[in-house]
Amino acid sequence: FMYDGLIWIPFPGLYPEPEKKFKQIRDMECRDSDVFLCSFPKAGTHWTHEILSMLLSGSVQYNQYNTIENMLEADSTLDKINSAPSRRLLITHLPYKYLPEQLQNGTGKIVYVQRNPKDLHVSMYNHLKGKGIMKEGTTWNEFIDQIFTGKLKMLGGWFQFSKDWEIEINIKKNILPLYYEEMKQDGTGNILKTAEFLNVPCKNEFAMEVADQCSFDKLKNNKLDYTALLDKNRKSTLFRKGQVGDWKNWFTVAQNECFDALYDDEMKSSNLMFTFEQ
Ligand code: A3P
């Protein structure tokens, strides 16, 4: 649905009273111990969430709840989140400017995960299709065309979303940026870095265990996809392929050239560096 000039995902708590909801989020009380996991959808949110949850609990158990329960924009009143004990691990796909004011002013920590936009858009297409959110029969060509023409700018579109976050990452000390591709390449190193940022004890062996327990195959086979339970066909799209470079199986040569040209134009003021293949 449209609000504030942007296309939003109709999360149950956000719709149908977005104005009230955004005010609640803006005014929310944050705590120094809070951890906010922020991302554009399909950047690796659930994977990172599992890692953060293990780091905060100090155990390699998978969490037993649907991530949507801890999502700012999906909690209909924020009552549950407001009364939750510390340390809270909260999730959001909100563009930076909609975050709680106290968080923007430095109360609480943010882990921001990002992913190369070619794989991200492929993942998005498969997710929207798998969940039946997209019009029945929409092809990849039709989907990516809507990205090129600017018709499908979910959350303002990946480009604007990422540029806005980049500005904040460069000036705020309470944000740790993670890259999906780096996490794939050096899981343990990124877990140790994250533990240090969150000030939680984490020995090398524990970081290795977390990386292993959160590997794509283990998550896909062992972790219950709670969102699939809400689905009538119970299809999991959260753990689909988990690869860097899957975009090559989807983009035609012409689409790839078009995307590169769009990227160069949109991101000319950006210093973000993504890995597109491994
Ligand atoms: P693909 O659709 O490319 O497979 P989000 O959690 O933000 O919705 O992101 C989902 C994407 O992260 C999916 O990408 C999913 O397969 C991938 N993913 C989930 N767990 C992963 C893991 N342990 N390692 C690598 N990718 C993972």
Choosing from 218, 240, 243, 276 the residue with most ligand 1 atoms within 8 A of its CB, the one to mutate for a pocket test is 240
pLDDT of residue 237: 73
pLDDT of residue 225: 66
Pocket flag, ligand 1, residue 238 (CB < 6 Å): yes
Separation in Å, CA 13 to CA 69, 236, 257, 258: 10, 22, 39, 36
pLDDT of residue 131: 78
Query: Using CA positions, which residue lies closest to atom 12 of ligand 1?
Result: 44
The structure tokens listed for 80 are 């549950």
Better-predicted residue by pLDDT, 150 or 15: 150
Backbone angles phi, psi at 153, to 5 degrees: -110, 70
Q: What percent of the chain has pLDDT over 90?
A: 81
Which residue intervals of 65-155 are DSSP H helices? Answer: 79-82, 101-104, 117-130, 140-148
Tens-place pLDDT, residues 25-80: 999 999 999 999 999 999 999 999 999 999 999 999 998 877 888 999 998 889 99
Alpha-carbon dihedral 237, 240, 243, 248, rounded to 10 degrees: -80
Mean pLDDT lowest among 30-34, 80-84, 210-214, 235-239: 235-239
Residue 229 pLDDT level (bands cut at 50, 70, 90): low
Tens-place pLDDT, residues 102-121: 999 999 999 999 999 999 99
pLDDT of residue 230: 54
pLDDT of residue 226: 64
- Residues known to be catalytic: 93
Please tell me whether residue 2 adopts helix, strand or coil conformation.
strand
